[in-house]
Each structure stands twice: as structure tokens, then as C-alpha cells.
Amino acid sequence: MTKEKRYQHITKFTVAVDCIVFGFDGTRLKILLVKRGLEPEKGKWSLMGGFVNDNESAETAANRILKSLTGLEGIYLEQYQTFSSPDRDPVQRTISVAYFALIDINKYKESINTDFEAQWFNIKEFPNLIFDHGDMVHLAQKKLQYKAASHTILFELLPEKFTLPLLQSLFEDVFDTSFDKGNFSRKMLSTKLLIKQKEKDKSNSKKGAFYYKLDKKHYQENLHKILKLIPNPNQLL
């Protein structure tokens, strides 16, 4: 009988994955959390996480675990960091590969299951999380800010026609800041990324707010101008 080949005299550890899912519901940026299903910390709020099986990649495990805990599938998960502090898990040495995603909540509303009490929380008001999951979220927010400053991902979450107040609300949540209404409007319009429409949204005031559309023909050449809006852009990852 052939002896199974294994590396000798090495430290063994467990590999896990954790998924951070940000979502926009048409008004606010949110984060999806579940109740942890095993000890320790059973029943406390957690990211969607679990262990990588012997026969699967970290990416496959992330998609499997996300679906099993929330019902979500078919969304793009981007790997962004490995968390390997020796004491991050009190049970045994566990290295976690972290992924994040940004989705339109309304498109996946019917997909969310409640087996593990999956729930959306405002990004500025979510509860304390287990282990080092708070650190994972903080770093994922930094990654999201970087992508939002260099790609059109935020505009892709908006309806085809949107108002400047709605756009400002999304930017404030993503970049964890607040903008003066007048300054935001002036700087955003100076980017030449938007096309003003004739119609107004009068749902919040009699005066109303003009609708805008993303100028898809010229956004590539003007996208870098978004940096004008962002506080301390040189600190982005």
C-alpha cells in the first residue's frame, strides 16, 4: 500500500472564507449580515463565512457559503484580503480569505432567505460583529471607495434617471463623509459626466429636482474628475 504523501513537520491550520456584501436599496448603502450558526459566538451578528473543503477553491467555497447562508448566487465576489492573525479565531488557527461584492438590493430582494436571519443594515448603523469581522468590513469599505473613485460602479446602482440629491446620498455613504449640497452639485456637474434632463422629481418638494443621466459616450475620458469630489483622494488604496 502506497503511503499517502503529505508534508511533514508543518503547522496545520484551517482555511475559511468570509463574504462582505454591500447593497444599495435606492436610498442608502447597506451591508448584509447573518446570525452565526455555531459556537463560539453562536447567534451573534456575523459576515457570511465558513470553511473551505478539501476539494474546492476559496472562490468556489465563497459562492457556496454565500448561497447557503443567504440564498444569494450569481453575484461577482472580488477577493481583496487575507486575514491571518494567529489569534483571530479562539477555537483554532484559522486563515480567512475575504471577498466583497456590491449589488442592487432590489434586484435580489426575492433571493434572500431567512434561515440564518439574513438582514440588511445601514452601513453607518450596523451592530458589533464577531471576531475580526469589523476590521474586514472597514478594509472592504476602503476597497469600495477606491473602485468607486476609478470606475462607474456607483452610477450602475442608480436608475437610468436620477437626481443629484440621490447621487449625493450614495457618495456620502460610500465615502463615509458629508458634502455641502451646493458644492457637491457644482463639482459633480463640472465633471461633465452627467446629462441634464427636462423632467423633475417632485416627490420630495414642490420645486422638485432635475433628473440626470450618465453620459455614457464620454464617461471614460471624464471619470478621473470624480476625484475632485473625494476628500483626501491620495489616501485611497
Res 1: pLDDT = 47
Pick 224 or 80 by higher pLDDT: 80
Mind listing the pLDDT tens digit for each residue in 162-197? 999 999 999 999 999 999 999 999 999 998 999 999
Spatial distance between the Cα atoms of 154 and 149, rounded to a whole number of angstroms: 9
Quick check: 15 and 95 in contact, CB under 8 A?
A: yes
Pick 205 or 87 by higher pLDDT: 87
Average pLDDT, the chain: 91
Domains plus CATH for the chain? 14-140 (3.90.79.10), 153-235 (1.10.10.10)
Catalytic residue (choose from 56, 73, 117, 221)? 117
CA torsion sign for 172, 175, 177, 183 is: negative
Q: What's the pTM value of the predicted model, to 2 decimals?
A: 0.91
Residue 117 annotated as catalytic: yes
Mind listing the pLDDT tens digit for each residue in 82-125? 999 999 999 999 999 999 999 999 999 889 998 899 999 999 99
